[in-house]
Structure 1
């Protein structure tokens, strides 16, 4: 295991929360995985960071290792978001490889949908190939929104293990039929390409009923099944 330095200063109180993932709607009692979500303490409250790109790779590694120590032993898969500026940075690929080498838990990188005007799609695809060549799983997060639109998703497909659809990005959605159409489109794309299809942002019984019409779902998460909980909150 590599030595990872402790951090003090303005970013000292940053942690990972974990939100449980379940294999499917009919098996939503025992979590099979977690998504790690960054939170920063501001005035005694844990909030979303103002800048997700400010976290350096060595601090990210420290937080990731602490989170892996805190998750239940039954968890076999952990995912976490990387912003585009991190995704294309070889230091982050190197970091994920080192952590993966020290754990039996499968690590999955979720490429966020947030647009970065300084990073073109070709660079993103090349980075995805680097993760693929290194044996690190990548999922395209929030397909169909932000910058993760069909053209880029198609280019990334050879190098990723799955697509993730976030219902929260459509809320409030026009009609149930519209949501099911969008879910169905991406589920079909995933099935056609032999990729996993994950659904996030399930927050209500209506969401559950709409997702039940998508038999290809491989992982599901959302407040309806379990809220994010702190995994490690000591002062770093």
Structure 2
């Protein structure tokens, strides 16, 4: 059995929850776990879960984003599955986050551009997750810019550090890139009120992090009343 867990995304002004980033989790024996192999879940399974989850979301949580690994992102079957259910996601604006995971397939620049263009043409917002980390460096960002709606800068990818001030120059670089290219800019990994106070000066559009909200279980329409939602290390 699979379900989504959602971490709230907060607008900066006013600071309030406006949506969720969705994380796929699998029930194993007696707890929910991060799947060891995301590739075993088909596009149809994930799309069906979206349809059953979306009507249960709070009315104000209209912006949801779904992570796709790079090999899923370039697979047209995933676009087709999400486009087929788009009209059923009433009051929900679905974005696709291009993420990275160890052991993924090698994908060409042409495949990435084609996939991003197709998602945009189909009416989906594309989010580049973890800019400045892994392969989502400036070269890839510039390559996909015409089709991307949002950059996400993940503070947790740079921990541990002695002080948050250490990464501010890097954060400012990407904030400026977002402003120059007219993209939304999200800072994730906000873990304390002190983080939030400092980061609020850098004009992000949205924030995510444990200080604002940890991932929570998102029920479906057909969940049994005794569903178990406890687990360790779900993020």
Q: TM-score range by the shorter chain?
A: 0.7 to 0.9
How far 1:121 sits from its partner (Å)?
Answer: 2.6
How do 1:187-202 residues align onto structure 2 when only pairs under 5 Å count? Answer: 187-202=175-190
Query: Alpha-carbon deviation of 1:122?
Result: 2.4
- State the 1:68 CA deviation: 0.4
Give the TM-score taking structure 2 as reference length: 0.87
1:160-213 C-alpha deviation (Å, 9 max, x unpaired): 101011111111135322221121111000000000001111112332133122
Q: Deviations over 1:78-131 (max 9, x none)?
A: 111011111111111112212222223110000003363431232112110111
**Which residue pairs with 1:107 in the alignment?**
94
Q: Distance in 2 between matches of 1:210 and 1:166?
A: 15
Secondary structure of the 1:61 match is helix
Residue equivalent to 1:9: none
Residues 12-91 of structure 1 aligned to structure 2 (within 5 Å)? 13-24=1-12, 27-28=14-15, 30-91=16-77
1-side partners of 2:85 and 2:202: how far apart? 34
Aligned counterparts of 2:133 and 2:37: Cα–Cα separation in 1: 20
After superposition, the CA RMSD in angstroms is 1.9
Task: Trace 1:1-236 onto structure 2 (pairs within 5 A).
Answer: 13-24=1-12, 27-28=14-15, 30-102=16-88, 103-114=90-101, 116-215=104-203, 217-232=204-219, 234=223
Q: Do the aligned residues in 1 keep the contact of 2:71 with 2:105 (CA within 8 Å)?
A: no
- Identify unmatched segments of 5+ residues in structure 1: 1-12
How far did 1:147 drift? Answer: 1.5
Gaps of 5+ in 2: 225-235
Once the two structures are superposed, what CA deviation does each residue of 1:135-167 show, in whole Å capped at 9, x if it has no partner? 211010111111211100110110010101111
Contact residue 114 and residue 147 of structure 1 kept, 8 A: no
Residues 190 and 196 of structure 1 are in contact (CA less than 8 Å); yes or no, is this contact kept in structure 2?
Answer: yes
Q: Secondary structure at the match of 1:213?
A: helix
* Separation in 2, partners of 1:158, 1:80: 20
